[in-house]
């Protein structure tokens, strides 16, 4: 599971670099898996969270420099 954890952390860093605030990222994580704590997530929760974060990163990259 360390691989999934690292990918999730990288997605979070990408979102921060794209302008998301920590409270927004916390809400994205909470919506996806019901908690903001990454320490005790199951493999399925990590997969769900990674999919959700990937979608947000993709959206942010598409909107970068545009009004979405």
- Residue numbers in the chain where pLDDT is lower than 70: 1, 68
Q: Alpha-carbon distance 11 to 50, whole Å?
A: 8
Domain ranges of the chain: 2-63
Asked if 53 and 5 touch (Cβ cutoff 8 Å), the reply is: no
pTM: 0.89
φ, ψ (nearest 5 deg) of residue 35: -155, 160
What one-character-per-residue DSSP string does the chain give?
Answer: -HHHHHHHHHHHHHHHHTT--HHHHHHHHHHHHS-S--TT--HHHHHHHHHHHHHHHHHHHHHTTS--
Q: What percent of the chain has pLDDT over 70?
A: 96
Give the pLDDT confidence of 29-38 residue by residue, as tens digits. 999 999 999 9
């Amino acid at each position: 599971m360390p691989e999934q954890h690292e990918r999730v952390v990288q997605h979070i860093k990408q979102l921060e670099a794209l302008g998301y605030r920590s409270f927004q990222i916390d809400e994205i994580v909470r919506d996806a898996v019901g908690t903001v704590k990454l320490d005790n997530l199951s493999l399925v929760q990590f997969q769900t969270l990674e999919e959700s974060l990937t979608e947000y990163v993709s959206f942010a990259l598409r909107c970068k420099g545009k009004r979405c």
